Amino acid sequence: MKIFEELGDKERVASSLGNIGVIYRNQSVYPKALEYYTKALKMDEELKNRNGVARHLANIGIVYHDQSNYSKSLEYYQKALKIYEELGNRAVKALILGNIGFLYQTQSDYLKALEYFGKALKIDEELGNKDGIARHLGNMGELYLTLSQDSVSINLDELNQYVSLNKDINLNRSIEYSLQAINIFEEIGELKERSSNLRNLADAYELKGDYRKSNKYIREHHKLKDSVFNQENSYKITALEKAREDDLKQQEIEKQKIRIAEQEKREQLILYFSIGLVLLMSVVMFIIYRLLKRSDKLLYNVLPVSIAKRLKKKEHPISDYFTQASIVFIDIVNFTELAKDEDPRRVVEALNKIFTHYDSIANKYGLEKIKTIGDSYMAAAGIPEVQKDNTHRAAQMALEVKEMMKDYHTSDGTKIEVRIGLDCGPVVAGVIGENKFIYDMWSDAVNTASRMESSSIAGEVHVSERFKEAVTEYEQFDYVERGEIEIKGKGKMKTFFMGSKIPSHPMFVKSNNIRNNN
C-alpha cells in the first residue's frame, strides 16, 4: 500500500486497504476490519470504481453477519447486490443472494431464506457454476428438512412459491435437493460439503420412516456412534432389563398353565399341548431375537462397532497396540466455580449441549470419542481403525472446537471458555470392565495431551513439539512457540500454540467471502 501511495495509484491503494480488511476479518478483529473496509469504500467511491465499491459493501455485510448484526448486514448486502445487478456481474450476484439466504436462515426466517437460495440457484444453473449449484441445493435441502418437522409452523401470510403446507412434500424436496447436491459435490470432489449433505439426507429418510436408507447414509456420513454410557442409555438399559424380567415371568406363567392343563387332561390334550409348546417356543425365540437386537443396538452405541463385534465373538479382554494415534483433551475453564450455585439440571443441559457439538465435530473428522469426565472431553484419531492422517484430523477438530467456543455463551448468558491440549504417539487401547464396558486408552502420549490441556490457557490449542513436528506437513496450520515450560510429571518441555491459516466460518458465508485480489 505504501508503494502504491508513492506511485499515486489510488485504485490499488483502495484494493490494498480492502485486503488488510480481509486479514483483520479472518482474525475476527472486526473493528479493524470495518475500519479498513470503510477506508477502501470511501476511496473507491471517490474514484467511481463501482466494482470496488460493491466488493467492499459486500465484505462489510459479511463482517456485520459475523457479529450477528443482521439488520446492518442485510443493508450492506442489498447495496452491493444493487450495484452488481447494474454491472451485470451475475456470478457475484448469486454469491450475495446466497449470503442473504443464509442470513435469513440464521434468523429462522425459512421462507425468505428459501426464496433467496432459489434465486441464487437459478443464476448459478444458468451460469453452469456447479459449486454454487450444489451449495444452494444443499442449503435448500437443509431448510426443507427443517420445514418438514412438526415443531416448525408456517405463516400463511408469508407463503411463497418455494414452500408447501404439506410437510411430506417439503420432506421429499429435502431428499431431492440433498441427493442432487451430494451427486454434484461427488462429481467435483468436494468431500466436506458432501458429508454434511449426507447427514441431512439421513435425517430426512429417518423422518420418512425409511430406516434402511437412513442407516445407509448415516454410515456414509461417518458411522455416527456414541461412545459414552450416558444417562439416556442407562435409562434404556434399565428399561430393557425390566422388560426382560417381565418376559421371563410371563414365560414361566405360560409354562405353569401348560403343566396344569397337562395334569387335568393329559391324554386328551397331548396333541394340543405339542402345538402349544411349538407356538410357545416360537414366541420365546422371537422375544430372544428382539432382545438380542436391542442389546446389539445399545452395545454399538456404547463402543466402537469393530470393538463391539469382537466382544460379541467372546474376545475379552481386548487390548490393541497402535504405533501412532493422536489425542485431544478439552476442558472447560473454571467450570466448578461456574456450576457450584447453578441448578443441576441447567448444568447438565449446558454440558450436554456443548458435548453434543463436540461429538458432531469429532464425527465430522472421523475421531473416536473416548470418554467425558465431568467437564472434560477426550477424543482420539487413529483408533480403533488406523488413520494415517490422524494428526491432521485431530488438529482440525481442535481448531474447530476453538472457533466454536470463541464467543460461546450458555442460555443464561454465561460465557464459557475452554483449554485444549494435543499430543500424538504410540498408544495401547482396549476394553475394561465386565458388566459396563468402556473403551479406553493409555500411553505417554495420552498423559502428555492431558498435560498440554491443563497447562494451556483459555481459548488456545496447546500442542507438544512432537505433535507439531507430526502435523507440519499440512500447511494450513501455523504456530506460536511458547518456549520451554514446566509440565507436571514431565519436566521442561518445548510447546506451541497452534492456529489455522484458514479460519472456519458457517458453510455458506465462508464460501462467499469476496476477497480483493490485485
Confidence at residue 23, expressed as pLDDT on a 0 to 100 scale: 96
Closest CA to 402 of 501, 325, 476, 503: 503
Res 50 pLDDT > 70: yes
Please report the pLDDT score of residue 226 as a whole number. Answer: 38
Cell for 342?
A: 447453578
Do the Cβ atoms of 40 and 23 come closer than 8 Å?
A: no
Q: What is the pLDDT of residue 282?
A: 75
Task: Please report the pLDDT score of residue 293 as a whole number.
Answer: 67
H/E run at residue 106: helix 90-106
Above 80 in pLDDT, residue 75? yes
87-113 average pLDDT score:
91
The Cα–Cα gap between 176 and 178 comes to 6
| Torsion sign (Cα): 259, 260, 264, 269 | negative
pLDDT at 228: 28
Percent of the chain having pLDDT more than 70?
A: 88
What's the confidence (pLDDT) of residue 303? 79
Place of cell 468402556: 438
Reading the block at residue 405, the C-alpha cell is 467456543
Long-range contacts (CB closer than 8 Å, 24 or more residues apart) made by 267-274: none
pLDDT at 283 over 80: no
Q: What are the beta bridge partners of residue 493? A: 485
For residues 139 and 162, the answer to whether their CB atoms sit within 8 Å is no
Q: Which range is least confidently modeled, 4-13, 282-291, 416-425?
A: 282-291
Give the containing element (helix H, strand E) for 430: strand 418-432
Which residue's C-alpha cell is 481442535?
398
Residues pairing with 499 in the sheet: 478
- Flag whether pLDDT at 501 surpasses 80: no
Q: 181-205 burial, b for 16+ CB within 10 Å, e for fewer? A: bbebbeeeebeebbbbbbbbbbbbb
Is pLDDT of 292 > 90? no
Q: Assign 240 a pLDDT band (cuts: 50, 70, 90).
A: low
pLDDT for the residue 154: 61
pLDDT, tens only, 448-484? 999 999 999 999 999 999 999 999 988 889 999 998 9
Cα(366)–Cα(261) distance, rounded to whole angstroms?
Answer: 59
CATH code of the domain made up of 319-509: 3.30.70.1230
Contact partners, residue 139, CB within 8 Å, separation at least 6: 98, 101, 102, 105, 113, 117, 507, 508
C-alpha cell at 55: 466488493
Q: What is the DSSP string of 347-383?
A: HHHHHHHHHHHHHHHHHHHTPEEEEEETTEEEEEES-
**How confident is the model at residue 316, as a pLDDT?**
76
Superfamily of domain 2-224: Tetratricopeptide repeat domain (1.25.40.10)
Q: What's the pLDDT band for 227 if we cut at 50, 70, 90?
A: very low
pLDDT at 31 over 90: yes
> Cβ–Cβ contacts within 10 Å for residue 373, how many?
10
285 Cβ contact partners less than 8 Å away, ≥ 6 residues apart: none
Report d(CA 346, CA 332) in Å as an integer: 16
How does the average pLDDT of the chain come out, rounded? 85
Record the cell numbers describing residue 189, joined without a space.
Answer: 470432489
What whole-number distance in Å separates Cα of residue 302 and Cα of residue 432?
13
The residues, any chain, with a CB within 8 Å of residue 518's CB and separated by 6 or more, are 12, 15, 16, 19
> Each residue of 149-208: pLDDT tens digit?
776 666 555 555 666 667 788 888 889 999 998 899 888 888 888 998 899 888 989 988
Q: Where are the domains of the chain?
A: 2-224, 231-302, 319-509
Radius of gyration for the alpha carbons in the chain, expressed in angstroms and rounded: 29
Cβ proximity of 400 and 461 under 8 Å: no
Residue type, 181: A
CA-based nearest residue to 429, from 382, 375, 372: 382
pLDDT computed for residue 256 by the predictor = 87
**Paired residues of 418 in beta bridges:** 332
pTM value is 0.43
